[in-house]
């Protein structure tokens, strides 16, 4: 299973019987507020307290790609855009919804809802 440390380190714990192995997968140097798996568990979104979103793909040699950095706006959340695992969606308090490519972090589209958004 995956876990994150306060320092922004993504850790993988491989547990089998009474043995375990710890592997440091990524160090993004920002506290990670949430980890979100893609529907097929091939990608993991790392969302920081500062509003930066990274994509982590274990099968691609643990490649970490910065998707977006919203430190200047009021970032609320990010998640995978399904079906599939090719896109990520983010939303700000001001109601701006953005779509990003998980391949390389390319910004693809945005939609302004015209209202403030709250996460409950």
DSSP-assigned states of every residue in 90-107:
EEETT-EEEEEETTT--E
Give the per-residue pLDDT at 82: 84
- CA-nearest of 68, 67, 44, 47 to 57 is 44
Q: Identify whether the C-beta of residue 110 lies closer than 8 Å to the C-beta of residue 73.
A: no
| 55 inside domain | yes
DSSP secondary structure code for residue 84 in this structure: S
Domain assignment of residue 54, given as a range: 32-112
Give residue-wise pLDDT tens across range 2-20: 888 768 889 888 888 889 8
| 92 inside domain | yes
| 97 inside domain | yes
| 24 inside domain | no
Q: Is the pLDDT of residue 59 over 90?
A: no
Cis peptide before 83 (omega within 30 of 0): yes
Total domains in the fold of the chain: 1
Model pTM score: 0.74
- CA-nearest of 90, 17, 23 to 54 is 90
- pLDDT band at residue 70, thresholds of 50, 70 and 90? low
Positive or negative: CA dihedral 71, 76, 77, 81: negative
| 100 inside domain | yes
Give the per-residue pLDDT at 109: 92
| 36 inside domain | yes
Q: Is the pLDDT of residue 72 over 60?
A: no
Q: Is the pLDDT of residue 60 over 90?
A: no
> Rounded to whole angstroms, how far apart are CA atoms 82 and 72?
27
Q: What is the CATH number of the domain that holds 70?
A: 2.40.10.480
| 14 inside domain | no
Q: What is the DSSP string of 27-53?
A: E-SS-EEEEEE-TTSS-EEEEETTSEE
Averaged over 59-64, what is the pLDDT? 74
DSSP secondary structure code for residue 60 in this structure: G
| 65 inside domain | yes
């Amino acid at each position: 299973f995956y876990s994150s440390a306060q320092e922004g380190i993504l850790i993988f714990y491989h547990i089998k019987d009474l043995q375990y192995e710890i592997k440091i997968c990524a160090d993004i140097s920002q506290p990670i507020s949430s980890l979100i798996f893609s529907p097929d568990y091939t990608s993991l979104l790392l969302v920081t307290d500062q509003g930066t979103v990274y994509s982590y793909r274990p099968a691609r040699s643990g490649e970490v790609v910065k998707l977006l950095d919203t430190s200047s706006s009021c970032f609320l959340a990010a998640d995978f855009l399904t079906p599939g695992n090719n896109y990520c969606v983010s939303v700000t308090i001001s109601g701006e919804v953005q779509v990003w490519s998980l391949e390389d972090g390319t910004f693809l589209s945005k939609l302004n809802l015209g209202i403030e958004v709250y996460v409950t």
